[in-house]
Amino acid sequence: MDQTIEPKIRPLVDALNAIDGVRTIASCQGHVSRISRPYVYFHCPPAVAEAMAARLHDLNMQDDTLSYWWHLTAAFNTEHRLCFSLEAPDLDHRRSDLSVFVTFVLGRKKIDRDLSILAASLTQTDPIPANDDAPVAPTPSRWSQGARASLRVVSLLSMLAIVLLLGACGTSNVELQKDGSGTDEMLKSPCACLPVLYDGPDFVWGRG
């Protein structure tokens, strides 16, 4: 098997095989003649693949780390076994002769540098716990969601009632008649709902 592993992809293949549960199946270092992209095809538990995908995401998001965007794709093989492929999709879309020459000849150092970074970084992959063991955040029940919605409606209605009540305050005139005077005075009241005391010692009749 070692004779079939190409030298430029071998460090990455060895790094993946060093991860517990990973077994490589096929690989390619990328070629100009048949326009073949670099990739490693392997099998591993889904938890390991999840951790590897998270590690790849971190590497891709770091500036000046990888020259190309690398990711994992998953598919079932002919034996109905879930397998994964580590590859850079952008390297598979360069079809013209000029772009192939620039990418795989003039720019080959960028590809080899990415392969070295991946080999060094993916060995730090720690499996993510299975879904049964991972903590699960509590999901709000339908009743609690409906109760919160009802409270929001009641709150809005209460606010609307307060606004309408305050709108009536300070704007209405209340007709008050002084006993024995025979004169109707229209006085501004601070609120239509509150009585105006006009018999107090400090009250002065007049129009506000």
- pTM metric for this prediction: 0.59
Domain boundary among 61, 91, 122: 122
Residue 112 lies in a domain: yes
Residue 179 lies in a domain: yes
Model pLDDT for residues 110-164, shown as the tens digit of each residue? 999 999 999 999 987 666 554 445 454 454 444 455 666 677 777 778 777 776 7
Residue 49 lies in a domain: yes
Q: Are residues 176 and 79 in the same domain?
A: no
Q: Are residues 54 and 108 in the same domain?
A: yes
Q: What is the pLDDT of residue 200?
A: 54
Place of tokens 């879309």: 93
Q: What is the pLDDT of residue 132?
A: 47
Output the six-digit token pair for 159. Answer: 């606010």
Q: Are residues 89 and 8 in the same domain?
A: yes
Domain boundary among 106, 122, 138: 122
117 contacts 65 by C-beta, under 8 angstroms: yes
67 contacts 88 by C-beta, under 8 angstroms: no
Residue 134 lies in a domain: no
Alpha helices, H only, 32-182: 46-61, 97-101, 108-122, 142-168
Model pLDDT for residues 153-198, shown as the tens digit of each residue? 777 787 777 767 766 655 444 444 545 444 444 444 445 455 545 5
Q: Are residues 102 and 194 in the same domain?
A: no
- How many domains is the chain built from? 2
Residue 61 lies in a domain: yes
Residue 156 lies in a domain: no
Q: Are residues 6 and 96 in the same domain?
A: yes
Residue 155 lies in a domain: no
51 contacts 127 by C-beta, under 8 angstroms: yes
Output the six-digit token pair for 163. Answer: 């606004």
The CA distances from residue 172 to 153, 154, 169, 184, 191, in Å, are 30, 28, 7, 16, 7
Q: Which range marks the domain in which residue 175 is found?
A: 166-203
Model pLDDT for residues 41-97, shown as the tens digit of each residue? 999 999 999 999 999 999 999 988 999 999 999 999 999 999 999 999 888 765 677
Output the six-digit token pair for 196. Answer: 């105006």
Q: Are residues 196 and 109 in the same domain?
A: no
Give the contacts of 66 (CB within 8 A, at least 6 positions apart).
Answer: 59, 60, 114, 117, 118
What CATH number did the domain enclosing 13 receive?
Answer: 3.30.1960.10
Q: Are residues 42 and 107 in the same domain?
A: yes
Residue 137 lies in a domain: no
| Tally of CB atoms within 10 A around 198 | 14
Domain boundary among 122, 138, 155: 122
Residue 18 CA to residue 12 CA, distance in Å, equals: 10
